[in-house]
């Protein structure tokens, strides 16, 4: 069974964590900006600024702590670990719930320009928090 475990070195796990957070953040922001592009320019600017403010809050009050805990946990692991270990297993349940909520909101009657605030908030926060992973990768594995 061990031969089916996709194990990699922890330094690459830190990098993968950053890439995943960045990609998801970019996808969320892209969708939000697509919705905003169909709005009046002044409304779109106001909603975008609201989304940016929300992303700063989410990043500072939530995701930054999560990223720090994940990085610390990864760096304390043995040399090779499962490629999906960049998040603790219980976090995958939360991720599934968040994906479900995103799908539900996207298919709800909530106007997409207003929904873009939430998407920009979470997407921007994920992008900013992913920088912690890249910094940890460069700091801890620069000479490896």
pTM for this entry: 0.86
Average pLDDT over residues 13-26: 93
Distance (Å, rounded) from C-alpha 52 to C-alpha 119?
A: 10
CA distances (Å), origin 61, targets 5, 65, 98: 35, 7, 18
Residues 71-82, mean pLDDT to the nearest whole number:
83
Calpha distance 81→137 (Å, rounded): 16
Q: Which helix (H) or strand (E) holds 82?
A: strand 80-82
DSSP 4: G
pLDDT on residue 4: 64
Mean pLDDT of 51-74: 94
8 A C-beta contact, residue 115 and residue 106? yes
Phi, psi of 9 (to 5 degrees): -70, 150
DSSP label of 27: H
Residue among 125, 132, 119, 130 at smallest CA distance from 22? 130
- Reported as a single tens digit per residue, the pLDDT across 109-144 is 999 999 999 999 999 999 999 999 999 999 887 765
Average pLDDT, the chain: 89
């Amino acid at each position: 069974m061990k031969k089916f475990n996709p194990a990699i070195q922890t330094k690459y796990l830190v990098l993968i964590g950053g890439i995943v957070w960045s990609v998801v953040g970019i996808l969320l922001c892209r969708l939000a900006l697509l919705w905003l592009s169909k709005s009046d320019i002044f409304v779109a600017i106001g909603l975008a600024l609201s989304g940016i403010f929300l992303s700063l809050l989410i990043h500072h009050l939530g995701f930054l702590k999560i990223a720090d805990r994940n990085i610390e946990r990864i760096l304390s692991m043995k040399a090779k670990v499962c490629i999906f270990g960049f998040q603790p297993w219980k976090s995958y349940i939360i991720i599934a719930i968040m994906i479900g909520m995103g799908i539900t909101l996207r298919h709800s009657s909530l106007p997409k320009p207003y929904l873009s605030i939430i998407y920009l908030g979470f997407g921007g926060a994920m992008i900013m928090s992913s920088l912690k992973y890249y910094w940890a990768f460069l700091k801890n594995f620069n000479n490896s």
